[in-house]
């Protein structure tokens, strides 16, 4: 009996050793943790339950029959993060370069199926040379099986991808369909075709880092939602994000203990808006002053800075915030910011996360590049996302809310539940100067007359009261009381039930 028990331990130890000491040392030398070290850091101590430790591939070509390591290059199972369940897979680069075989894919599919069935998120740690070259089409089939599950899981359980090494070719499309992608600076890359193929086809010369490193994907392409210095930081931040999220689409996000009075007054907010309407201010200051303990998890921090998206808590409850940022492009909406915010709003709505919208928007960014790039369709994404969202929606207009952008930013007309404005709000078709230049074109030569017209327009429209008279603004609130008003609004909406007409699915302008 003792022998049998010992054999299990021996087999387990061999499986856990992955590709062996030499390859583990090579992994560490690149500044990367191993697949198992990553799982250990991601999950609560001792919570990991592994599946399929002994699964081995069935390939025979290219001498593969003689090399069948237990586990087949991916560690899979479930565990907890701060006590809440999560399914995990972590590709082991030390075994066949973490490449995906038929059986490797089956292991991933097994935990994805369980996650969908049992209602818990999936976190995938990607570190792989792609399709297992020795297996050919069986590997491609394996990828497609994973892709199909990514699609089915979308909107059912949150899916998070960590890119902690190479992720290339069609393999990128699994992370691409998940809700959030985080990368590690200098040790991860994602591209559909690598630098060599790019050189051959287009004669462009780029390094892997330039083509698909963390900086490229967080600043330029917006494929990734965040970049971290190393594996440890990426895993710790993933745990932090996880705490904001519900386990699945039929459950709300957890309520955390909070040590910050919901009625906290912030007198400094009364002077946040500068006297000069063209002077910017930092909208993040308002976000941090509304949030419990100023705890804010920003999504896509380095992309489209003219809109800020992320999670905070109010009275311990998760809220998704979307805020125009006057510090960048005066807070205009454009192609990038519309896409960024639309995807975030849809995530929140899919997972019952209430949405707080902070508005200071002078309109859509004008320009040939914007029009040629399809700002009409991209702007419509955000409009559509807000319009279809049935979660509690609270909006605060701090300053400008001009034109179509006023409508888009979770206005009353898109079923905003609470639409507040600060006394400094200007809700109008456009700014006073622009309006007067159109209305009184014939008087443009007369500076005095025009100045009087601008003053008159400002007095009539550059305020929140015209909209408030119509009930488009529910109340004009003091800036210092914003946290209290927003907290009470969300508290009153906890029982909100709203349904859209039956449909198979909508046709958002993609
Ligand atoms: C089998 C692979 C492998 C693969 C790497 N290895 N990629 N084995 N299939 N795809 C093995 C290597 O043979 C090596 O084994 C070990 O993993 C480590 O690889 P190295 O090359 O030594 O590591 P490194 O120098 O760090 O380079 C990493 C790499 C490179 C950039 C990922 O290995 C590479 O270019 N691999 C091939 C990538 C590729 O073309 N994949 C197919 C893409 S197409 P030993 O035994 O020496 O340790 C694709 C399509 C997906 O993925 C389609 C989905 C629809």
pLDDT in tens, 392-411: 999 999 999 999 999 999 99
Q: Is the pLDDT of residue 443 over 90?
A: no
DSSP 14-64: HHHTTT-HHHHHHHHHTT---HHHHHHHHSPTT--EEE-TT------GGGG
Where are the domains positioned within the chain? 2-244, 267-425+463-492, 431-462
pLDDT value for 462: 86
Pocket probe mutation, ligand 1, options 130, 174, 189, 212, max atoms within 8 Å of Cβ: 130
Q: What is the distance in A from the centroid of ligand 1 to the CA of 93?
A: 9
Pocket, ligand 1, Cβ cutoff 6 A:
23, 96-97, 99, 129-133, 140, 143, 166, 168-171
Residues carrying an active site annotation: 169-170, 404-405
Per-residue pLDDT tens for 362-385?
999 999 999 999 999 999 999 999
Residue nearest (by alpha carbon) to ligand 1 atom 47: 96
Q: Is the pLDDT of residue 306 over 90?
A: yes
Residue nearest (by alpha carbon) to ligand 1 atom 33: 129
In this structure, what DSSP letter does residue 217 have?
I
Q: What is the distance in A from the centroid of ligand 1 to the CA of 408?
A: 46
Residue identified by tokens 């491609």 is 140
Query: pTM higher than 0.85 for the full model?
Result: yes
In this structure, what DSSP letter does residue 358 have?
E
Question: Which atom of ligand 1 is nearest the CA belonging to 165?
Answer: 32
Superfamily of chain region 2-244: 2-enoyl-CoA Hydratase; Chain A, domain 1 (3.90.226.10)
Choose among 175, 180, 186, 184: nearest CA to 210.
186
CA of 115: how far to CAs of 36, 229, 253, 260, in Å?
20, 29, 17, 34
In whole angstroms, what is the distance from residue 216 CA to residue 443 CA?
50
Query: What are the start-end ranges of the E strands in 37-165?
Result: 49-51, 74-81, 84-91, 122-126, 159-163
Per-residue pLDDT tens for 116-162?
999 999 999 999 999 999 999 999 999 999 999 999 999 999 999 99
Asked which of 192-201, 261-270, 278-287 is least confident by mean pLDDT, the reply is: 192-201
Q: What is the distance in A from the centroid of ligand 1 to the CA of 340?
A: 33
Q: Is the pLDDT of residue 65 over 80?
A: yes
Q: What is the distance in A from the centroid of ligand 1 to the CA of 228?
A: 24
In whole angstroms, what is the distance from residue 335 CA to residue 229 CA?
29
Per-residue pLDDT tens for 275-284?
998 899 999 9
* Common-topology check for domains 2-244 and 267-425+463-492: yes
Third-level CATH fold of 267-425+463-492: 2-enoyl-CoA Hydratase; Chain A, domain 1 (3.90.226)
């Amino acid at each position: 009996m003792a022998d049998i028990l010992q054999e299990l331990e021996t087999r387990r130890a061999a499986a856990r050793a992955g590709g062996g000491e030499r390859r583990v040392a090579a992994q560490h030398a690149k500044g990367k943790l191993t697949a198992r070290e990553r799982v250990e850091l991601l999950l609560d101590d001792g919570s990991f339950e592994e599946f399929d430790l002994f699964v081995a591939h069935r390939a025979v070509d290219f001498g593969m029959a003689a090399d069948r390591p237990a586990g087949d290059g991916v560690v899979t199972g479930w565990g907890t993060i701060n006590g809440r369940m999560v399914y995990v897979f972590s590709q082991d680069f030390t075994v066949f370069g973490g490449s995906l075989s038929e059986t490797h894919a089956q292991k991933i599919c097994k935990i994805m199926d369980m996650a969908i069935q049992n209602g818990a998120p999936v976190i995938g740690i990607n570190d792989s040379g792609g399709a297992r070259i020795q297996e050919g089409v069986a590997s491609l089939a394996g990828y497609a099986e994973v892709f199909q599950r990514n699609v089915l899981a979308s909107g059912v359980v949150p899916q998070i991808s960590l890119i902690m090494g190479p992720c290339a070719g069609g393999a990128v499309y699994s992370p691409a369909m998940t809700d959030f992608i985080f990368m590690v600076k200098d040790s991860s890359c994602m591209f559909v075709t690598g630098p060599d193929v790019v050189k051959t086809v287009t004669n462009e010369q780029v390094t892997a880092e330039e083509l698909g490193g963390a900086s490229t994907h967080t600043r330029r392409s917006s494929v990734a939602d965040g970049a971290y210095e190393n594996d440890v930081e990426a895993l710790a931040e993933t745990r932090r994000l996880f705490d904001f999220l519900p386990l699945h689409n039929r459950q709300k996000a957890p309520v955390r203990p909070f040590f910050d009075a919901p009625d906290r007054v912030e007198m400094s907010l009364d002077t946040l808006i500068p006297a000069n309407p063209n002077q910017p201010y930092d909208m993040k200051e308002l976000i941090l002053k509304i949030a419990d303990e100023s705890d804010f998890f920003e999504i896509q921090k380095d992309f489209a800075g003219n809109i800020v998206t992320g999670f905070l808590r109010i009275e311990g409850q998760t809220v998704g915030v979307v805020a125009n940022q006057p510090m960048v492009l005066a807070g205009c909406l454009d192609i990038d910011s519309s896409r960024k915010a639309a995807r975030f709003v849809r995530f929140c709505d899919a997972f019952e996360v209430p949405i707080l919208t902070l508005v200071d928007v002078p309109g859509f960014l004008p320009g040939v590049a914007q029009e040629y790039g399809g700002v009409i369709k991209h702007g419509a994404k955000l409009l559509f996302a807000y319009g279809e969202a049935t979660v509690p929606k609270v909006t605060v207009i701090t300053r400008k809310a001009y034109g179509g952008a006023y409508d888009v930013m979770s206005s009353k007309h898109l079923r905003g539940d609470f639409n507040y404005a600060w006394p400094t709000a200007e809700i109008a078709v456009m700014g006073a100067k622009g309006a007067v230049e159109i209305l009184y074109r014939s008087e443009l030569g007369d500076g005095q007359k025009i100045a009087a017209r601008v003053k008159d327009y400002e007095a009539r429209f550059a305020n929140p009261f015209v909209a408030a008279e119509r009930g488009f603004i529910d109340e004009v609130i003091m800036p210092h009381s914003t946290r209290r008003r927003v907290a009470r609004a969300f508290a009153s909406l906890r029982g909100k039930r709203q349904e859209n007409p039956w449909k198979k699915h909508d046709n958002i302008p993609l």
